[in-house]
Amino acid sequence: NAGVTQTPKFQVLKTGQSMTLQCAQDMNHNSMYWYRQDPGMGLRLIYYSASEGTTDKGEVPNGYNVSRLNKREFSLRLESAAPSQTSVYFCATALTSSYEQYFGPGTRLTVT
């Protein structure tokens, strides 16, 4: 049981480049989330998917898009990366949106 996996673990992008962060879970959870964490700060919700086929904006959605590919996978896309998007990105899952969340190990993204 891998739990929640994220790829890649590290990434360096130049301003304007695009990339997709991948998240997969084998916990058979319905809800999935993307957060970002800036140095010394708490987590901020970017987007979430309460169930397969639905996505909603969180606290800081600008500059990002998401796709809930199937029940297992939830991807986060940066279309045109900016230095302000340098952060650690965490994916999380929950049985449903009413239950506690389980987090992946994170993707450390630097935009130069």
Q: Which of the stretches 16-24, 62-70, 78-86, 95-103 binds other proteins when contact is defined by CB under 8 A?
A: 95-103
For residue 55, what are the contacts with CB-CB under 8 A and spacing of at least 6?
A: 47, 48, 49, 66, 67, 68
Of 58, 71, 73, 75, the one binding other proteins by CB under 8 A: 58
Rounded Cα–Cα distance for residues 24 and 6 (Å): 7
Q: What residues pair up with 18 in beta bridges, in sequence order?
A: none
For residue 30, what are the contacts with CB-CB under 8 A and spacing of at least 6?
A: 50, 51, 52, 71, 94, 95, 96, 97
Q: Which of the stretches 14-22, 34-42, 62-70, 74-82 binds other proteins when contact is defined by CB under 8 A?
A: 34-42
Residue 105 in the binding site for other proteins (CB under 8 A): yes
Q: Which of the stretches 11-19, 21-29, 40-48, 64-72 binds other proteins when contact is defined by CB under 8 A?
A: 40-48
Of 26, 44, 69, 84, the one binding other proteins by CB under 8 A: 44
Instruction: State which residue, 14 or 100, has the beta carbon closest to other proteins.
Output: 100
